[in-house]
């Protein structure tokens, strides 16, 4: 197998990994709201314990 084949296989593998991450992110609602996270970023206080994952 030529080096090109190895690179191609590696590229396809990485592509699938990132595609998987993308699908996971979208399914978890990461792309649902693009405005509120930007608002949260400017709240200069500690994260809200009520909204932490351990409560769900």
25 Cβ contact partners less than 8 Å away, ≥ 6 residues apart: 31
**3-32 binders of another protein (CB under 8 A):** 4-5, 8, 11-12, 15, 18-19, 22-23, 26-27, 31-32
The DSSP letter of residue 49 is G
43 scored as a contact of another protein (CB under 8 A):
yes
* CB-CB contact of 42 with 36 (8 Å): no
Strand ranges inside 1-56, DSSP E: none
Q: Which residues bind another protein (CB under 8 A)?
A: 2, 4-5, 8, 11-12, 15, 18-19, 22-23, 26-27, 31-36, 39-40, 42-43, 48-51, 55-56
């Amino acid at each position: 197998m030529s080096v090109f084949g190895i690179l191609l296989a590696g590229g396809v593998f990485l592509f699938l990994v990132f595609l998987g991450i993308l699908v996971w992110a979208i399914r978890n609602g990461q792309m649902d709201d693009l405005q509120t996270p930007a608002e949260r970023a400017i709240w200069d206080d500690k994260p809200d314990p009520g909204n932490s994952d351990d409560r769900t």
